Structure 1
Amino acid sequence: MGHVTIASTGSNYAHNISSGVHSLVADEPPRLGGQDAGMAPFDLYLSALAACTAITLRMYAEKKGWELGQFHAELSSSRDEAGKLLVHRVLSATGALSGAQWERLLDVATRTPVTLVMREGAIITSEHRNLEG
């Protein structure tokens, strides 16, 4: 499904992340001791959900013959009183979509692959390997 590697840059909390030929930098903001050289981990988390939402809705609209036009999503996160993460998506598009079409797209958004994994959780394992050099 996916494979990424991450390596320190030698610059405080900044790390290079790569997947195949693609790369980006992750860091923390200055208020958390970083240098803001890239997105923070929770921003990357929201980015994964945003990307999956945008791509899935574009695929669905194309399949239905609906013109989305320019698609835009804004995601934000917060925590409730119990500490549970809350994520809110605001979706918009320049295409002339009806209320019924938007209702369907919002329904599809609840079932994108990344949405489902984030809702159900994942089994995360770790192991140790020595680095050479």
Structure 2
Amino acid sequence: MPPVSLASIESTGTNYLHHIEANHFVLDTDEPAKLGGQGAGPAPFDYYLASLAACTAITLRMYAQRKGWELGRFRAELALTRDDDGRLHVHRVLRSDQPLTDEQWKRLLEIVANTPVTKAMREGAEISSARGDAL
């Protein structure tokens, strides 16, 4: 089965700062100083939320274009929290500078509940690991 996406990460020798290569894009990740990092890049959970935010915005823009709806300037604000049992919760708030009807908002909220990344996060993914050859 062909991969949907590919990414790799390599250490930099500076505590938790790492370089990520996703497709042909290079990103950095780090932990905040309070966790021993340098704060030189988004932390892993920042990327977790960012991937959901990106999928949210792109999916809704595609849907609105197909429907001929003008989303105008669109914004999705996401917050990740952990409850007393340690379970993660994501809350998404959607905003547009266009006067969308209640029916349009209702449909957009239905669509956003089923974006590809939303489904992957909600349903989970099987994760396997293997040892590779030396660098």
Name the TM-score class by shorter chain. over 0.9
CA deviations over 1:20-64 (Å, ceiling 9, x no partner): 321110000000000011000001000010000000000000000
Q: 2:93 aligns with which of 86, 90, 94?
A: 90
Q: 1:109 aligns with which of 89, 108, 112?
A: 112
Task: Say yes or no: does 1:78 pair with 2:81.
Answer: yes
- Runs of 4+ residues over 2 Å off in structure 1: none
Tell whether the 8 Å contact from 2:56 to 2:115 is kept in structure 1 after alignment.
yes
Gaps of 5+ in 2: none
In structure 2, the residue matched to 1:20 is 23
Task: Say yes or no: does 1:127 pair with 2:96.
Answer: no
In structure 2, the residue matched to 1:49 is 52
3-state secondary structure, aligned to 2:13: coil
Aligned length: 132
3-state secondary structure, aligned to 2:59: helix
Gaps of 5+ in 1: none
Q: Return the TM-score normalized by structure 2.
A: 0.94
